[in-house]
Every structure is written in C-alpha cells, then in structure tokens.
C-alpha cells in the first residue's frame, strides 16, 4: 500500500538533528515550538487524494499518474511538559525522522528517564489531519473520495544503556471508510479481495547519533516495515535507510536528510499481472535563521524536499516535491 501524505514536509523539519533533542530538561515546565507558514506543493499519485485534487479521473491503468500542484498552509506544534524530579516528560508532537519519509505522525505519550540506561517512551500515534483517498482508485472516471483513518502505538528507547543508539517499534491500523478497490473492473470476488487496503503496518527502527565535530550530528537510521493488509496484493515488506545531518551555530542551523527505500509485495496484482515492487528516494533540506528580528526563540525557516517512488507497475508511481517558508517559535 502506498503512503504519501500531502502536508508540506517543513511542518516537521523544525527540530535540528542534535543529540540534545532527546534529553529531558533539568527544570520542570513547558517546552516545545509552534510553526506557521506557507508552501508550494507538486505531487503525483493515483492512490491518494491531495488537498486540492478534485480530478476524479486518472491517466489510465497502464500510465503513470498526472501532476497536481497547490499552495499549502504550514502549521504545527511540539508541546512538552517536564516533571524534573521524577525525570518524566509528557509530550504531544512529531519527529523529523518521520518527516523525510513523508510520514506526518503525531505522538501523544510519556517519556521516562531510566538513570544511565536511557529514555523509554510510550505513545499513541495518529495522523496530523484526516487523509483522503479514492474509494476505488482504479475506476476510469467518477472516482469517489473516502476517509482513511489510522492510529496505533509506539514504544521507543533512546540512548540505549547510555550509548548513542536508539530504537523504536511502531504499529498502526488503517481503516478506509468505503473500501471498494477494483469494483469498477471485470474482476472476480477473490481478485477484488486481493486489493483490499484495510490492515496494519509494523515498523522497527534502529538509529545512532554521531557527534563527530562540535556543532555537527550525523544520524544513520535503518527501518524495517511490514504491511499486513486484508488484500494479499497490498501486503509488503519494506527496508528503508535514512541519513540525517544537522549543523547548528549561534546564528543559523541546517538540517539535511536523504532517504532510500525498497518495497517488495507479497502477491501479484490481479489487475496488472505483476507485483507492485518499488524503489523509493527522498531528500530534503531545512535552513533556520535564529533570533529573527532579534526576538529570542523566533526563527525563520526555508525548506525544500523531494520524494519519488518508482514502481514496477506505472499506475503506482508517485512523487512529491515542496518548497516552504515560515516562522518557528521555540519556548
């Protein structure tokens, strides 16, 4: 199952890749950031409906998707409250590790410092905004939109046993309100069942924070994902590699990310007679100017991103690119 969110990538690229971001403050109270801005978005996808995509037709079952563009508002927040005495932190927000994969996951949970053994976190994960998709994305015309709901849990362990290693396990359930994939085509009931997009995903991630020069942090991350859907042709195994670099000084910061992924599906797609295996690539960069207008905590932001998914079946090709600007206020 293809997952592309159409909120601008800069929404989450607001926290530098820095080892300090995973530490719990020594003083009690609120911390976090809020962001607002605007971005331009260009995307291609036959499986998901973008924010201003009113075109109910696709370019043909054996063609790559057409391009759509829009101007998109940027908004978001990361809010935390720390209980310094117990080394406990409540949080509501998002992570840059998800952003470069165009996965705009929100988290509501608790983090606990376990002495020198690291920080353990447990959270409920959910999308920032409800996602829209097509009830039957293969219909030649008059496609109807429907809601895709998702939610799940995440267990994470940062600074494992006092090292710079981090790991997490995330499970999500996906529920499409009106799942009618393939009903417009001449398929048997068993073949239509193979296209059902309802189900669950499981992700295991392992990363390392490498501070190799003062002000520079490099974070390699390996992610394995398993998609288990009611439709066997939609179920997959996916391996992803993410490399993030952050540089920070008193005046400005730069965060850059590169992402590679490979997806392998369980069964041959009954429409196309082939598996929808794909290779994925993503890159992004975000520049922050600190103390904008000489206001403490206020930062200017400019970011750009690109992601492409190249499938063995043209219909499932997808891409998204964005350029964004906004203001970020840290407190």
pLDDT attached to residue 73: 83
Average pLDDT over residues 80-87: 95
Q: How confident is the model at residue 22 (pLDDT cuts 50, 70, 90)?
A: low
pLDDT attached to residue 36: 86
Q: Residue 159 pLDDT > 90, yes or no?
A: yes
Q: Residue 141 pLDDT > 60, yes or no?
A: yes
Distance of CA 184 to the CA centre of its chain: 31
| Integer Cα distance of 193 and 198 in angstroms | 11
pLDDT attached to residue 9: 35
Residue 80 tokens, joined:
């935390």
Using one digit for the tens of pLDDT, what is the confidence trace for 85-113? Answer: 999 999 998 654 444 344 567 899 999 99
Lowest mean pLDDT among 29-33, 49-53, 263-267: 49-53
| Integer Cα distance of 311 and 93 in angstroms | 32
pLDDT attached to residue 52: 65
Q: How confident is the model at residue 198 (pLDDT cuts 50, 70, 90)?
A: very high
Q: Residue 16 pLDDT > 80, yes or no?
A: no
Lowest mean pLDDT among 68-72, 107-111, 216-220, 309-313: 68-72
pLDDT attached to residue 89: 95
Residue with tokens 């189900």: 199
Q: Residue 265 pLDDT > 50, yes or no?
A: yes
> What's domain 9-330's superfamily in CATH?
monomeric porin ompg (2.40.160.40)
Q: Residue 14 pLDDT > 70, yes or no?
A: no
Residue 164 tokens, joined:
């710079």
Question: Can you list the positions of beta strands (E) in 18-66?
Answer: 29-44
Using one digit for the tens of pLDDT, what is the confidence trace for 240-261? Answer: 999 989 898 989 999 888 999 9
The larger pLDDT score, comparing residue 151 to residue 127, is at 151
Q: Residue 81 pLDDT > 60, yes or no?
A: yes
Contact 288, 327 (CB under 8 A): no
Q: Residue 8 pLDDT > 50, yes or no?
A: no
Cα angle value 33/38/42 (rounded, 5°): 125
Nearest CA to 1 out of 169, 195, 279, 185 is that of: 195
Average pLDDT over residues 217-222: 92
Nearest CA to 193 out of 201, 182, 185 is that of: 182
Contact 88, 43 (CB under 8 A): no
pLDDT attached to residue 231: 97
The larger pLDDT score, comparing residue 21 to residue 152, is at 152
Q: Percent of the chain scored above 70 by pLDDT? A: 88
pTM: 0.88
Residue with tokens 């159409």: 6
The larger pLDDT score, comparing residue 200 to residue 19, is at 200
Q: Residue 74 pLDDT > 70, yes or no?
A: yes
Using one digit for the tens of pLDDT, what is the confidence trace for 295-325? Answer: 999 999 998 989 999 999 999 999 989 898 9
Contact 87, 113 (CB under 8 A): yes
pLDDT attached to residue 68: 86
Q: Residue 196 pLDDT > 80, yes or no?
A: yes
Mean pLDDT of the chain: 86
Average pLDDT over residues 119-125: 95
CA-based end-to-end distance of the chain: 38
| Integer Cα distance of 26 and 55 in angstroms | 52
Q: Residue 156 pLDDT > 90, yes or no?
A: yes
């Amino acid at each position: 199952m293809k997952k592309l969110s159409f909120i601008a990538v800069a929404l989450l690229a607001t926290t530098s890749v820095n080892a300090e971001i995973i530490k719990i403050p020594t003083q009690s109270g609120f911390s976090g950031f809020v962001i607002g801005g605007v971005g331009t978005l260009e995307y291609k996808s036959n499986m998901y409906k973008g924010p201003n995509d009113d075109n109910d037709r696709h370019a043909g079952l054996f063609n790559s998707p057409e391009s759509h563009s829009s101007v998109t508002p940027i908004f978001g927040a990361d809010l935390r409250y720390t209980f310094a005495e117990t080394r406990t932190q409540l949080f509501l927000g998002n992570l840059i590790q998800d952003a470069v994969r165009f996965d705009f996951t929100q988290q509501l949970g608790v983090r606990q410092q376990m002495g020198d053994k690291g920080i353990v976190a447990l959270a409920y994960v959910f999308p920032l905004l409800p996602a829209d998709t097509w009830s039957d994305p293969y219909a030649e015309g008059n496609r109807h939109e429907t809601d895709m709901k998702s939610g799940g849990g995440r267990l994470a362990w940062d600074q494992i046993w006092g090292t710079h290693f981090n790991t997490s396990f995330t499970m999500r359930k996906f529920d499409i309100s009106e799942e009618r994939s393939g009903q417009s085509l001449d398929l048997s009931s068993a073949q239509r069942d193979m296209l059902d997009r309802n189900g669950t995903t499981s992700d295991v991630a392992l990363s390392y924070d490498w501070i190799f020069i003062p002000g520079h942090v490099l974070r390699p991350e390996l992610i394995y994902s398993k998609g288990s859907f009611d439709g066997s042709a939609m179920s997959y195994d996916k391996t992803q590699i993410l490399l993030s670099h952050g540089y920070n000084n008193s005046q400005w910061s730069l965060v850059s990310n590169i992402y590679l992924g490979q997806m392998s599906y369980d069964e041959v797609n009954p429409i196309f007679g082939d598996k929808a295996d794909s290779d994925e690539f993503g890159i992004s960069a975000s520049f922050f100017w600190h103390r904008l207008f000489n206001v403490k905590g206020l930062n200017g932001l400019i970011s750009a991103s690109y992601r492409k998914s190249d499938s063995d079946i043209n219909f499932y090709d997808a891409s998204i690119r964005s350029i964004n600007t906004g203001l970020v206020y840290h407190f």
